[in-house]
Structure 1
Amino acid sequence: MRDLQKSVMKNLEMLSYTLMFLIFAIQGKGEECPLGTYGETCDRNCSPHCAPSPSDKNVHCDKLTGMCSEGCNRGWHGDQCNFRCSRNCFNYVCEVQRGTCVGCKTNYSGDYCEMYEGSCQKKCEDLTAPQNASAPVSMILVPVFVVVAVILVIIIIILIVHTCRRGRGWIIKGRRMGSDDARGQHQNLLADGGKNTGRKSLS
């Protein structure tokens, strides 16, 4: 009987230690991170676009997800305020979760103020001017290099063809000269042979 009681007491003691360990572990996980940080070890920074707390003017975000506690600064949306609002939103203000504009600039409409309803002249200027101004130099230089490379390849091909034709002409000319020389020598031999035959007949 005493052995049974000792065994029960020992098991209860082990159970109490286990419960205490679990309580401390849960409390450790529930501890808040320093201001402006989040993550299991508080090693990540909250988004710089999170709106500061009105009470202490500091940035707060959820420890696990990094979600901004006070919403976003103007011009940003998303859980971590890492997406820009449309530039056509009135005052660059949009809904935090979806990014839909609260209001649109003049002549714009739609959830994201993406539709233009005014004249085309100003719209075209707004669209083309930034693109032309920000066009990278590589987009201009690449076609130039391509054209130059094509011209060089054509010139090299022409030179190779010309050289081959010229060399072939020299070979043909040399063969012709050789055949002419051989023909001349043959004719000389025939002439000399005729003379020798005439001399033999006279003698």
Structure 2
Amino acid sequence: MNCSTGCDGGCDRGTGRCTNCIMGQYGRYGDRCDMSCNTECDGGCDRNDGRCTSCIGGKTGNGCNNSCNTDCTVCDQDDANSCTECKDGRWGSSCSKLCNTYCKPVVGATVGECDQMTGNCINGCLPGKIGSNCTSDCAAGSYGDYCTSKCGNCADKTPCDIITGGCGLVGCVDGFQGPTCKDVQEPDDNTTIIAAAVSAVIAVIIISIVIFLVLKCRRRRKSTESDQVLVNDIPLKAKTDAPRPSEQTPKGRWNVL
């Protein structure tokens, strides 16, 4: 009796049982190694009963012909709901929990990845969020990845956007510009000319007021001095020539002295 073509190392002379089975593409099992292991086995199968040593991703069962639950990528061979790896965006023993939507996704994925046991974000947070599971907003005055960028100068003391650092519709306070209100605003030529003209007008007005007040003060001083001169210029005789009552005659005439 010839040994089976699936034997590796010969076979028993009396029964034809192979000493070992050749692995082949998927492996073989049975006394004569004439049966192939399931194509979804990973690493071959048991020589005697064909039980897979392990399963490829997403499969479970003795022959790896059952699927893990839909949220697993790898599960225990004996339990479809005992996951060892979850699809992106999920965590937990059966991958039934969702990662925080602010977890940063891995390259090529559209959803964030988190630790299967804790739910903590593996690749950090999307801009504007911080914390192990990305549930906290950036503090006021900061924004972006890991909240390390600084912002401010929004009008009305409005906090900047925690993702972009912008001030939105409120805009920037006077003197600042740009998407994050960090750039000092330079006055344009027209503004400079207008400011200079206004300053010149104000200066002329102030000087005119000062001159007016000085001239008025001088005129008042001269007027006072003129009045004093007129009083001092009255003749002394004119001041004392008025007759005294005792010098009148009984008939009302003045005595000539």
Greater helix fraction, Structure 1 or Structure 2? 1
Structure with greater proportional strand content: 2
| Relative contact order higher in (CA < 8 Å, ≥ 6 apart) | 1
Measured against the shorter chain, the TM-score band is: 0.3 to 0.5
Kindly name which structure, 1 or 2, has the bigger radius of gyration based on alpha carbons.
2
Q: TM-score, normalised by structure 2?
A: 0.27
